[in-house]
């Protein structure tokens, strides 16, 4: 391609100008990149390039580097604490959403069964590229709803593998049975795990250690690129997605002392390649087909958005609060980029009509273009619906905050603790899972948030490890114990002060390494005697 450099320069120029303009109006850069792709196709008649495998691979590596940085955020310890979000919520969301979309598209709209199945599997997935980009940039990935959304997205990325295997089985390529395909997949997964976790972990640690010791930034950067691309190619060679290999590599590096430097150094590559991915998405826009079918496309998009939000809300509501469920459901209501892969695989295998493929692709693109506008307004929307402004927990401020006191509980004792901290001039925040208590604290101009301190995700969001102390004033012993266990699991190096009201409570907490246990009855007895010894005798 002799003119490749020319098109690259034009793409850089157009995307830069568009995003500079969009930046003024608070419009996401994703929109700028998608429009750049559409402009290139129609300005230079590049319609034959919208299905270029080379461009697809280059664009896909934007998601690869994004998943690598997500892996850096989610260590094995953290992933262990997200088992419910990833495996229960993720599996239930994909399975139930796919089943309901299939039933509606096949039995109500009369879509042929195979086409309905492909549509249901594709539309059950959400956009990792759009949602995680927003969550990372806004720091909401540390919020409880950000953690839930991240866990479900991780499962969705894993789910792409069996979906593509299933489509391969439907196309009937070769004479392999489903059992043989499944066996080969399990063997491949075992090989990837062995290579990545036994051999790869040692190689990665060794490579990062010596490249960092050289104090040459270029060597360290080339080592990181080698690790990411090698892990991606290994996963792809064994039949999995590029992004899964990069995600695992990120998780391995997250356990090393180099993960902060790696994340900073890799950011420019991630952003450039992610922009390339969205430019490729924009190149798929068929404007004439869009104009002719605009009502159908918008109708399907709105139906999918509402349907996915409702399904996910009721699914999450089983284990989560109304507000948390609603935020997570709305943030994952769009259709994701892996839908393009599913539609392409189905089309090549003769399972999906070309016109249907074009229609579904445009629905997906519209969904991805609307999401950046929509997702940034979720906090305000949910606050308005729920009438609780304080439910929007902005944790970005906590990243640099240190030596603050976290008061867990704002009932009678919590209020007295806050008053005494005010006298000392100490900086503190209040966390309570009772909306009335939080509202009361806010009405007194105190910094207070609704949340469950027994959740590790909230402790991480609040950067509890940087606090001067955590004071637990809760009444319920079970909640009190759950909070203490979570705090000590999050970090051992912390001043944990807990109020108790009985000997039974003290015994219940005796196995935990609590810094100080304050028995209210003993303290009252001590204060009474102290007051007695310091007061003057009454004169007769």
Helix, strand, or coil (residue 293): coil
Neighbours of 214 (CB within 10 A): 12
Spell out the alpha helix ranges (H) of 354-476. 354-375, 378-386, 412-424, 435-443, 456-461
Q: Which residue has the tokens 């809300």?
A: 313
What are the residue ranges of CATH 1.20.1530.20 in the chain? 53-388
Helix, strand, or coil (residue 1): coil
Using alpha carbons, select from 208, 217, 194, 192 the residue that is nearest to residue 255. 208
- Print burial letters for 58-93: b (CB count within 10 Å at least 16), e (below 16): ebbbbbbbbbbbbbbbbbeeebebbeebbebbbebb
53-388, what's its fold?
A: Na+/H+ antiporter like fold (1.20.1530)
Q: Which residue has the tokens 């939080």?
A: 438
In angstroms, rounded to a whole number, what is the distance separating the alpha carbons of residues 72 and 74?
Answer: 6
pLDDT tens track, the chain, 540 positions: 456 677 778 888 888 888 888 877 767 777 888 888 888 888 887 766 655 666 666 667 777 777 787 777 666 666 676 777 888 888 999 999 999 999 999 999 888 888 899 999 999 999 887 888 788 777 677 667 887 888 898 888 778 777 877 776 776 554 556 567 667 777 777 888 788 888 888 888 888 888 888 877 788 888 888 888 888 888 878 777 777 788 888 888 877 777 777 877 777 777 777 788 788 778 878 888 889 889 999 999 999 999 999 999 999 888 777 878 888 999 999 998 888 878 877 876 778 888 888 899 889 888 888 888 888 888 778 877 765 444 445 555 565 677 889 999 888 888 889 998 988 888 898 988 777 788 788 878 888 887 778 877 677 777 787 888 999 988 888 888 888 888 888 777 788 888 888 777 888 888 888 888 887 777 777 777 777 777 655 554
- Decide yes or no: CATH 3.40.50.720 for domain 393-534: yes
Q: What tokens does 249 get?
A: 């590599």
399 DSSP 8-state letter = G
What are the residue ranges of CATH 3.40.50.720 in the chain? 393-534
pTM above 0.75, yes or no: no
Q: What tokens does 32 get?
A: 């700028």
In angstroms, rounded to a whole number, what is the distance separating the alpha carbons of residues 353 and 339?
Answer: 15
């Amino acid at each position: 391609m002799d003119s490749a450099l020319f098109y690259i320069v034009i793409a850089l120029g157009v995307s830069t100008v568009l995003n500079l303009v969009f930046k003024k109006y608070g419009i996401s850069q994703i929109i700028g990149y998608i429009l750049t792709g559409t402009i290139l196709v129609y300005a230079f008649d590049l319609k034959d390039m919208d299905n270029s495998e080379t461009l697809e691979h280059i664009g896909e590596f934007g998601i690869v580097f994004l998943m690598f940085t997500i892996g850096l955020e989610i260590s094995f310890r953290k992933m262990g604490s997200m088992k419910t979000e990833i495996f229960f919520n993720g599996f239930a969301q994909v399975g139930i959403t796919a089943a309901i979309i299939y039933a509606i598209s096949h039995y109500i709209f009369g879509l042929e069964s195979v086409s309905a199945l492909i549509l249901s599997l594709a539309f059950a997935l959400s956009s990792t590229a759009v949602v995680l980009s927003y969550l990372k940039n806004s720091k909401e990935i540390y919020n409880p709803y950000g953690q839930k959304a991240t866990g479900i997205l991780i499962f969705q990325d894993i789910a792409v593998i069996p979906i593509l295997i299933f489509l391969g089985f439907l196309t009937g390529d070769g004479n392999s049975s489903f059992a043989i395909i499944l066996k080969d997949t399990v063997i491949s997964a075992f090989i990837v795990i062995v290579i990545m976790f036994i051999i790869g972990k040692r190689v990665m640690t060794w490579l990062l250690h010596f490249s960092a010791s050289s104090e040459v930034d270029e060597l360290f950067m080339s080592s990181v690129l080698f690790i990411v691309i090698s892990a991606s190619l290994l996963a792809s060679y064994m039949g999995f997605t590029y992004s899964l290999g990069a995600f695992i590599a990120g998780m391995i590096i997250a356990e090393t002392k180099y993960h902060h430097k790696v994340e900073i150094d890799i950011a420019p590559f991630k952003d450039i390649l992610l922009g390339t991915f969205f430019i490729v998405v924009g190149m798929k826009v068929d404007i004439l087909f869009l104009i002719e079918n605009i009502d159908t496309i918008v109708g399907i998009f709105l139906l999918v958005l509402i349907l996915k939000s409702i399904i996910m809300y009721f699914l999450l509501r089983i284990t989560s609060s109304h507000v948390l469920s609603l935020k997570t459901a709305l943030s994952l209501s769009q259709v994701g980029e892996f839908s393009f892969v599913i539609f392409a695989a189905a089309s090549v295998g003769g399972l999906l009509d070309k016109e249907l493929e074009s229609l579904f692709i445009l629905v997906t693109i519209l969904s991805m273009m609307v999401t950046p506008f929509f997702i940034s307004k979720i906090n305000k929307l949910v606050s308005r619906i729920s009438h609780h402004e304080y439910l929007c927990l902005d944790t970005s401020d906590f990243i640099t905050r240190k030596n603050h006191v976290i008061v867990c509980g704002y009932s009678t004792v919590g209020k007295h603790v806050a008053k005494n901290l005010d006298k000392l001039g100490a900086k503190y925040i209040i966390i309570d899972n009772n909306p009335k208590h939080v509202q009361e604290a806010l009405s007194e101009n105190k910094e207070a948030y609704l949340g469950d301190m027994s959740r590790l995700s909230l402790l991480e969001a609040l950067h509890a490890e940087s606090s001067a102390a955590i004071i637990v004033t809760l009444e319920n012993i079970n909640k009190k114990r759950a909070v203490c266990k979570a705090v000590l699991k999050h970090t051992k190096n912390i001043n944990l002060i807990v109020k108790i009201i009985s000997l039974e409570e003290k015994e219940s907490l005796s196995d935990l390494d609590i810094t100080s246990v304050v028995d209210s009855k003993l303290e009252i007895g001590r204060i009474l005697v102290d007051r007695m010894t310091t007061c003057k005798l009454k004169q007769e």
